[in-house]
Amino acid sequence: MDSALVAERLTQWMKTKVEEAGGRGVVFGLSGGVDSAVVAALARRAFDENILGIIMPCKSSVQDMLDAQLVSQALSIPYIMLELDDAYGLLVGQYEAFLKLEDEEEAKRVKANIKPRLRMLTLYYFAQAKKYLVLGTTNRCELETGYFTKYGDAGVDLMPIAGLVKWQVRELARYLQVPESIIEKVPTAGLYEDQTDEGEMGISYHELDHYLLTGEASPQVLARIREMNRVSAHKRALPPIGEF
């Protein structure tokens, strides 16, 4: 992959899309991961000062917050930090007063998805106030398998890196001078303790990258990818319109 060419094309693409929408700049979440770091670096190139990164801790890892700050410092990204713990706790308390799930694992997953949806609300508050567009950080692997939250981290205006598999994101990150510790960090959505992308998906990024670029995979991996793609099809489409 020619990282310099990809960076230039994505930078110009973002400029064009924001201009077409009548926007002044862009806002995005800084999670401390490589995907959000690459999006932040591309935004910095495209819009200079008309950008805003938002770090949004929400019952989440302190290390992720520190990594997000590291990215902002290394790439000169202006940012604000908004803690969403209280909002999350208030909502969960009210929800569970009406319906509390008995299955602990299911309850953990249901409550975890509130976090990216709160972050989506936060990003759009600032986007509308500043006449900015919201940038998403979903990569091609996540998009293909549905490894994102509907109306959460997928609730965005533009997805700059959704055409890149994970290793391509990492290569682009090195070109954009993202700190190596961020590039090599174990990928996680950070929704609950000890969560990892690969552990939750049940396949490795290496296997997924290889399949998406070549169409080749073992029968087990192929079956897993196809099943994830099938059950998440609704996430990649507009809601069906009733027929009469």
Lowest mean pLDDT among 5-9, 12-16, 52-56, 196-200: 196-200
In a domain, 126, yes or no: yes
In a domain, 243, yes or no: no
In a domain, 244, yes or no: no
For 127-153, what is the mean pLDDT?
96
Structure tokens at 154: 């997928």
% of the chain with per-residue pLDDT over 90: 84
pLDDT band at 190 (very low <50, low <70, confident <90, very high): low
Q: Is residue 196 part of a domain?
A: yes
Is 241 part of a structural domain of the chain?
A: no
Per-residue pLDDT, averaged over 99-119, amounts to: 91
Residue with tokens 């997928």: 154
Question: 85-94, 104-113, 225-234: lowest mean pLDDT where?
Answer: 104-113
Domain count, the chain: 1
Residue 184 included in any domain:
yes
Q: What range defines the domain where residue 215 resides?
A: 3-236
Structure confidence at residue 187 (pLDDT): 77
Residue 242 belongs to a domain: no
CATH number at residue 205: 3.40.50.620
Rounded Cα distance, 175 and 139, in Å: 17
| pLDDT score of 196 more than 90 | no
CB 184 within 8 A of CB 205: no
State what percent of residues in the chain have pLDDT above 70.
98
pLDDT at 188 over 90: no
The answer to whether the CB of 31 falls within 8 A of the CB of 65 is: no
In this prediction, residue 51 carries a pLDDT of 97
Structural contact between residues 201 and 184, judged by C-beta atoms closer than 8 angstroms: no
Are 145 and 229 in contact by the 8 Å Cβ rule? The answer is yes
In this predicted structure, what is the pLDDT of residue 192? 67
CB-based contacts of 187, cutoff 8 Å, min separation 6: 33, 34, 166, 196, 197, 198, 205
State the pLDDT at residue 105.
86
The whole-number pLDDT of residue 197 equals 76
Residues marked active site are found at: 35, 142
Phi, psi of 59, rounded to the nearest 5 degrees: 50, 45
Is residue 94 a part of any domain in this protein? yes
Work out the mean pLDDT of the chain and round it to a whole number: 93
Which of 32-46, 102-116, 128-142, 192-206 has the lowest average pLDDT? Answer: 192-206
Q: What is the pLDDT of residues 34-76, one digit of tens each?
A: 999 999 999 999 998 899 999 999 998 899 999 999 999 999 9
Q: Which residues contact 162 (CB under 8 A, 6 or more apart)?
A: 136, 138, 139, 140, 142, 143
What's the confidence (pLDDT) of residue 1?
A: 85
